[in-house]
């Protein structure tokens, strides 16, 4: 919820966007109606592929959102689930996912390299370094556009992408943001905000969105956590 509130705060300065932050713990009874009245959804949840499909009425509402050209955005564990049965359902709406025994993750510091520097989502962004938990070896639709790549296990892995869906809508995924402290990175803030704007078919300034924010808004339980880095954050010991 802390991350969702940061994103909402950043989007407030991006024009006429009406934002609703919802806590979606089960049962989320009013969820389908909220989705039906939205132009897009930005998910920051646990096991997002499962969350999208576990309630048939929610899954149907997300399909209706896609069919009318709506935006679907997934951050961190909103991408994928532990069970492979949810792969196809998320793949069809988001363009990439992970699930089952082949899913992989690592906590490490990497150089995030722009795969398509001219894409609007990457406006005003250089290549940059981050320490995070990254999901990789994703299942992917054939026509997604990789946005950020990270060198993991000797391979250049896609860790962020966007997708012009055949239904006329757009999707955006970013597998990082495991550590709340990484919202302090202006590159992260700009990248995520611009991914949401693009997915909503809203303009992105050529030099990038201004993502200045009061540091108080980035606190967690009243404390500004140190930037995630080796020796500061511990490696995950459980497989998400």
> Average pLDDT for residues 204-225, to the nearest whole number?
96
Tens digits of residue pLDDT in 63-85 = 999 999 999 999 999 999 999 99
Residue 9 in 3-state DSSP? helix
Please tell me the least confidently modeled range out of 15-19, 111-115, 205-209. Answer: 15-19
Tens digits of residue pLDDT in 226-237 = 998 886 444 443
Whether pLDDT at 143 is above 50: yes
Paired with 107 in beta bridges are 133
- In angstroms, the CA 175 to CA 170 distance is 17
pLDDT at residue number 231: 61
Q: What is the DSSP letter of 72?
A: E
Place of tokens 């992989």: 104
All structural domains of the chain, each given as residue ranges with its CATH number in brackets, are 2-218 (3.40.50.880)
Whether pLDDT at 214 is above 50: yes
| φ and ψ at residue 181, rounded to 5 degrees | -60, -20
pLDDT band at 102 (very low <50, low <70, confident <90, very high): confident
Q: Would you state the torsion angle of the CA atoms of residues 112, 234, 180, 194, taken in this order, to the nearest 10 degrees?
A: 10
In order of 1, 39, 115, 173, the CA distances from 35 in angstroms are 18, 8, 31, 18
> Average pLDDT for residues 109-136, to the nearest whole number?
98
> Average pLDDT for residues 159-187, to the nearest whole number?
98
In order of 71, 163, 164, 214, the CA distances from 168 in angstroms are 10, 10, 7, 36
Place of tokens 């020796």: 231
For all residues of the chain together, what is the average pLDDT? 95
pTM: 0.95
> Average pLDDT for residues 78-93, to the nearest whole number?
98
pLDDT at residue number 41: 98
């Amino acid at each position: 919820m802390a991350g969702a509130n940061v994103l909402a705060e950043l989007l407030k300065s991006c024009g006429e966007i009406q934002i609703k932050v919802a806590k979606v713990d089960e049962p989320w009874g009013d969820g389908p109606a909220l989705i039906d009245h939205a132009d897009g959804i930005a998910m920051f949840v646990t096991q997002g592929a499962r969350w999208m499909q576990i309630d048939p009425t929610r899954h149907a509402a997300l399909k209706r959102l896609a069919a009318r050209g709506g935006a679907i955005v997934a951050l961190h564990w909103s991408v994928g689930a532990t069970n492979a049965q949810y792969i196809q359902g998320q793949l069809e709406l988001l363009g990439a996912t992970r699930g089952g025994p082949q899913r992989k993750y690592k906590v490490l510091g990497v150089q995030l390299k722009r795969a398509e520097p001219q894409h609007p989502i990457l406006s005003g962004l250089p290549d940059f370094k981050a320490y995070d938990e990254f999901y990789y070896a994703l299942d992917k639709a054939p026509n997604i556009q990789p946005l950020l790549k990270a060198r993991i296990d000797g391979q250049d892995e896609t860790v962020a992408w966007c997708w012009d869906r055949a239904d006329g809508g757009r999707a955006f995924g970013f597998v990082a943001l495991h550590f709340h402290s990484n919202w302090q990175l202006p590159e992260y803030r700009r990248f995520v905000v611009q991914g949401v704007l693009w997915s909503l078919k809203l303009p992105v300034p050529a030099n990038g969105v201004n993502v200045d924010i009061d540091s108080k808004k980035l606190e967690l339980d009243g404390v500004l956590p140190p930037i995630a880095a080796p020796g500061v954050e511990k490696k995950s010991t459980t497989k998400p």
